[in-house]
Amino acid sequence: MAKAPTKYEMPKAYEPGKVEQKWYKFWLDKGYFTPKIDPKKKPFVIIMPLPNITGELHMGHVCFLTPEDIMTRWHRMKGEPALWLPGIDHAGIAAQVVVEQQLAKEGTDRHKMGREKFLERMYQWAEECRKMITEQEQRMGASCDWSREKFTLDEGPSRAVCMAFVRLYDKGLIYRGERIINWCPRCATALSDLEVEHKDIQGHLYYVRYPLQGDKEFITVATTRPETILGDTAVAVNPRDKRFKGMVGKKVVLPAVKRVIPIIADEAVDPDFGTGVVKITPAHDPVDFDIAQRQGLPMVNILNLDVTMNENAGKYVGLDRFDCRQAILADLEQDGLLVKVEPYSHSVGHCDRCQVIIEPLASKQWFVDTKPLAQPAIDAVKDGRITIIPERFTKVYLNWLEDIRDWCISRQLWWGHRIPVWYCQDCGELTVAVDEPKACSQCGSSNIEQDPDVLDTWFSSALWTHSTLGWPDDTEDLRYFYPTTVMETGYDILFFWVARMIMMGLGDTGDIPFSTVYLHGLLRDEKGEKMSKVRGNVLNPIDTLEKYGADALRFALTSGIPPGNDIKLTAPRLEAGRNFANKLWNVTRFMVRSIESKGANVRIQRDGLPVEDRWILSRLSRTISSVTGLMGDFQFGEALGQIHDFLWGEFCDWYVELAKIRLRSGEAPSPLPVLVYVLETSLRLLHPFMPFVTEELWQNLKKRLPSDWQKLESIMVAAYPEADEKAVDPQAERVMGAIIEIIHAIRNARAEYKVESRRWIEAQVYAGELTPAITPYSQAIQALARARPVTFLVRREEAPSAENVLALVLKEAEIVIPMERMVDLEVERERLQSEIEQSQAEVASLEARLRDKAFLTKAPPDVVGRERDKLAERKSRLERLKQGLDRLI
């Protein structure tokens, strides 16, 4: 004998806090997140973009967690072995800065502690952060495989870093050289070009006279950084500039330090900048550095690494760079060498991490020769092996790679992968090796010292798709999961990360690292401003999760947003997500109660189904096929929008309402099987987007279903719905479309005439050839539109004359509503009359305003525009009121 279903009330309201952690733990314990390697199946693989170790989860992380979880859950439900591999980045500079600040508060610093103790402290701190980040990712519902989680400084990825370095070095693609680098004086390290943020600054252009040697004459140069005069080793003109014919080869005396330097000619000089004569400071400007290399000019570095002036600065030694500028200007002025000063707006590099002004300076660093690596990365996108979504970023990617510059990879930090290079103190040669060498590879001396610097953090993340899977070893994971499927990340790190991963992936493995790049947008607040700590407009993800629930947050980040578009995260969007979860809760609760009171026969008998059953099954099938297509095209925002509109706008608002009428009347067939079927299928359709609420509801529903439903443990491992082509029923859609239209139209008329909710109004419907199909729904129309009686006219002529009636012409039907059933005619006339008068006054005042010349010239154009729109809107309202009054007479 079948066991009677246990009476169990679902709570009145959905409380995400009570179910989210329960289900996450359930999924984790069941091992659903770890894919089974099946050589017969093609896996779906995403390697997670690495959150920085520097503290807690922020909204930027939830931006990638959401689409990646959607994709992974979807593919898993489609039966593919789905791997989403999580990881964490050691975040070189950013992390070291945090711990150094802690040390400063404790009255110590890394130098006092020593490298070893300092790194111990860093690891301790990193471990705490790692735990916190993992916990927060889990709260978002991230279904990633924690058994494969990696940290960039773990042994495997670290070995991969050394291996990649050695391979590039052996190919001659890594070199050490003196180049102009971007020096951040605050972070005390070199930065790559990408880590420098260029901002327009209102500065000055200083015109300075350089006296010709042994002559009373001068030539005048213009500069924005007069302190760099101290490092000049030439002045230059363009060889085709006729103004300076005969000057080239002469010498000038450098002001302030009185060094004698030549006048040279070089094509790189822009004759239109300043006076056409430029100063050449090879140690402090990248363009001048190149000129100096061509022309064989010496380099004079004038700065210490804390950006005070060094001994080459003569009497200015010890001054800070900006104090030195003032001192030199004062001296030039006194000597009559400062000709003029002009305001000048120019672009100045700032440190991406700390916003301090970057100092370009010549320094010996390690570089990757990127051009030979870039070409295969360009080809992979051009020949379609890698697709970038949205497509508009393809051009941005190609432009950057075609114009790529060498990548400075050494950083003067302690936290990171130490450069695998040892210098011999005896013969001076280098040993480059994956494992720590015992002796110099050239002379065998054991007197060797490792390079003190570490590698750019992006060097290790560039290997992330293959280093996490075991490269350089030939592992089962690497063979099965590489190349990965999708790289999902923010468009802001297309160059930092995506392009470099493609270059290094191809270089190390000979194969592309992924076939699709999916770029999501950045998060903005309701005013459209980018969320950032500096602006103080950041929402805390944990607070948001607690207030709205993870599903609501995921909904707000996804619904309606096309790939690559920025996301405005606002309270109304979050509320919409929460309301949707509540709506689903309520409808499931209603269904659970109905099953308990009516029994649990939930098998659909396809023959003889009423129109509304055929309609909802048809709409469900169409929604599934559309959603599946959209998911395949990475249109998750649109897919979720369609599921939402189907569930709320068609299922809850119409089908469930009609089903309630049937359940009350007890008329056969019962709508329960269709209710259960559509809800259960839709929950699976929605699961990848809102995993927690769908699991909770699915489990609640499952408990009430017959025993063959109990085999499946979780919605997470149930099959993703597939469209049933046979269910598509255009005739049922047409009839239900007409019924919905009729009810809508009557409800709108009630709203327009402010009919009290308890008042019944009369409606006469003419529906032409659909009349026989619609007639059985007159009860439903009565109940849902509060219209009684509803009469069906056989011929249009039966409609009474147009006086004192409201006639509505719809797509499939016409409706006639006698006015006296809706309103008290006398009162309505008065109401309309008074509204017309008020409306006329408003129109007149707006018209006067828009004729006022003073207003039109002084007000900003958008204000004038708003007033014009208001006038148009008021005029049309007045027109409608007048028509309404005409109908009553």
Options 57, 122, 168, 187; binder of Zn ion; rule CB under 5 A: 187
* Site pattern 260..299 for Zn ion (x: CB under 5 A): ----------------------------------------
By CB under 5 A, the residues from 766 to 785 that bind Zn ion are none
Stretch that binds Zn ion, among 177-185, 197-205, 622-630, 855-863 (CB under 5 A): 177-185
- CA distance linking residue 846 with residue 560, whole number of Å: 37
Span of 348-356, 361-369, 646-654, 739-747 interacting with Zn ion by CB under 5 A: 348-356
Terminus-to-terminus CA distance in the chain, angstroms?
71
Q: Which of 164, 351, 523, 647 binds Zn ion (CB under 5 A)?
A: 351
CB-based burial of residue 585 (10 Å sphere; 0-12 exposed, 13-18 middle, 19+ buried)? Answer: buried
Q: Candidates 186-194, 268-276, 277-285, 451-459 — which segment interacts with Zn ion by CB under 5 A?
A: 186-194
If one counts every other C-beta atom within 10 angstroms of the C-beta of residue 163, the result is 18
Binding window for Zn ion (CB under 5 A); candidates: 47-55, 154-162, 420-428, 737-745 = 420-428
Nearer to Zn ion, 130 or 186 (CB): 186
Q: Rounded to 5 degrees, what are φ and ψ at 811? A: -65, -45
Among 102, 445, 775, 833, binds Zn ion (CB under 5 A): 445
Q: To the nearest whole angstrom, how small is the minimum distance from the Cβ of residue 520 to Zn ion? A: 27
d(CA 492, CA 622): 36
What is the identity of the amino acid at 212?
L
Contact 50, 89 (CB under 8 A): yes
Judged by beta carbon, residue 307 or residue 469, the one nearer Zn ion is: 307
**Does 432 help bind Zn ion (rule: CB under 5 A)?**
no
* Among 104, 260, 330, 443, contact with Zn ion (rule: CB under 5 A): 443
**Residue placing its CB nearer to Zn ion in the complex, 134 or 410:** 410
User: What is the C-alpha to C-alpha distance for residues 616 and 735, in angstroms, rounded to an integer?
Assistant: 12
- HEC string of 703-742 equals CCCCHHHCCCCCHHHCCCCCCCHHHCCHHHHHHHHHHHHH
- The helix, strand and coil proportions of the chain, stated in percent and rounded to the nearest 5, come to 50, 20, 35
Instruction: Write down the least CB distance from residue 431 to Zn ion, Å.
Output: 8
Whole-number Å distance between alpha carbons of 498 and 23: 34
Work out whether 446 is an interface residue with Zn ion (CB under 5 A): no
Using rule CB under 5 A, residue 888 touches Zn ion: no
- Shortest gap between Cβ of 411 and Zn ion (angstroms)? 11
Closest CB to Zn ion among residues 97, 319: 97
Of 496 and 720, the one with the shorter C-beta distance to Zn ion is 496
Give the pair of three-digit tokens for residue 689. Answer: 């987007």
**Among 440, 502, 656, 763, contact with Zn ion (rule: CB under 5 A):** 440
CB of residue 239 vs Zn ion: minimum separation in angstroms?
Answer: 39
By beta-carbon proximity to Zn ion, the closer residue of 345 and 442 is 442
Minimum distance from CB of 447 to Zn ion (Å)?
8
Dist. CA 380–CA 398, nearest whole Å: 11
Q: Which of 247, 424, 639, 805 binds Zn ion (CB under 5 A)?
A: 424
- Candidate residues 78, 121, 159, 186; the one interacting with Zn ion per rule CB under 5 A: 186
Helices (H), 430-529: 457-461, 464-467, 476-481, 500-509
The pair of structure tokens assigned to 883 is 């028509």
Q: Which stretch binds Zn ion (CB under 5 A): 126-134, 141-149, 434-442, 624-632?
A: 434-442
**β partners of residue 46:** 84, 486
- Tokens of residue 629, six digits: 């297509």
Identity of the residue, 119 or 351, whose beta carbon is nearer to Zn ion in the bound complex: 351
Give the binding range for Zn ion (CB under 5 A) out of 310-318, 409-417, 441-449, 568-576.
441-449
Smallest Cα–Cα separation from 794: which of 811, 814, 819?
Answer: 814
Q: Which stretch binds Zn ion (CB under 5 A): 288-296, 353-361, 710-718, 748-756?
A: 353-361
Query: 5-22 burial string, b = 16+ CB within 10 Å, else e?
Result: eeeeebeeebebeebbee
353 touches Zn ion (CB under 5 A) = yes
Contacts for 3-11 with beta carbons within 8 Å, 24 or more apart?
Answer: 5/595, 5/596, 5/600, 5/703, 5/704, 6/703, 7/596, 8/703, 10/585, 10/588, 10/589, 10/592, 10/700
**Closest listed residue to residue 79, CA positions, set 120, 110, 36, 119:** 36
If the CB atoms of residues 187 and 280 are measured against Zn ion, the closer one turns out to be 187
CA proximity to 504, closest of 386, 377, 387, 381: 377
Binding segment (CB under 5 A) for Zn ion, from list 166-174, 428-436, 469-477, 874-882: 428-436
Contact range with Zn ion by CB under 5 A, out of 65-73, 80-88, 175-183, 347-355: 347-355
Select from 140-148, 179-187, 388-396, 626-634 the region that touches Zn ion (CB under 5 A).
Answer: 179-187
Compute the distance between CA of residue 475 and CA of residue 453 in angstroms, rounded to an integer.
Answer: 31
Nearest distance from residue 360's CB to Zn ion, in Å? 14
Residue 427 in the binding site for Zn ion (CB under 5 A): yes
Give the C-alpha separation, 427 to 460, whole Å. Answer: 31
Q: How far apart are CA 476 and CA 474, in angstroms?
A: 7
Residue whose CB is less far from Zn ion, 442 or 791? 442
Length of the chain (residues): 889
Angle at 748 between CA 746 and CA 753, to 5 degrees: 100
- CB 437, min distance to Zn ion, A: 11
**CB closer to Zn ion, 169 vs 244:** 169
Whether the bond into 669 is cis, omega within 30 of 0: yes
Considering only the stretches 318-326, 416-424, 520-528, 585-593, report the one whose residues sit in contact with Zn ion under the rule CB under 5 A. Answer: 416-424
Which pair of tokens denotes residue 280?
A: 């050449």
d(CA 384, CA 375): 14
CB of 121 to Zn ion, least distance (A): 21
Q: What are the DSSP calls for 784-852, one per residue?
A: HHTEEEEEE-SSGGGSPPSTTEEEEE-SS-EEEEEHHHHS-HHHHHHHHHHHHHHHHHHHHHHHHHHH-
Answer yes or no whether residue 442 interacts with Zn ion by CB under 5 A.
Answer: yes
Q: For residues 865 and 859, what is the distance between their CA atoms, to the nearest angstrom? A: 10
Site string for Zn ion, 298-337 (x = CB under 5 A): ----------------------------------------
Q: Does 350 bind Zn ion (CB under 5 A)?
A: no
- The angle formed by the CA atoms of residues 723, 726 and 731, to the nearest 5 degrees, is 110
**Piece of the chain touching Zn ion by CB under 5 A; list 185-193, 219-227, 465-473, 771-779:** 185-193
User: Cβ of residue 93: shortest distance to Zn ion, in angstroms?
Assistant: 7
Specify the stretch interacting with Zn ion by CB under 5 A; choose among 12-20, 433-441, 562-570, 828-836. 433-441
The residues in 734-753 that bind Zn ion, with binding defined as CB under 5 A, are: none
Surface-to-core class of residue 407, CB atoms within 10 Å of its CB (0-12 exposed, 13-18 middle, 19+ buried):
buried
Helix extents (H) in 176-303 = 286-295
The binder of Zn ion chosen from 184, 686, 815, 822 (CB under 5 A) = 184
C-beta closer to Zn ion: residue 100 or 729: 100
Name the residue nearer to Zn ion (CB basis): 191 or 386: 191
Measured from the CB atom, the residue of 444 and 629 that comes closer to Zn ion is 444
Query: What number of chain residues touch Zn ion (CB under 5 A)?
Result: 14
Nearer to Zn ion (CB atom), residue 186 or residue 849 = 186
**In the bound complex, what is the minimum distance in angstroms from residue 306's beta carbon to Zn ion?**
13
Query: Where do contacts with Zn ion occur on this chain (CB under 5 A)?
Result: 184, 186-187, 351, 353-354, 424, 426-427, 429, 440, 442-443, 445
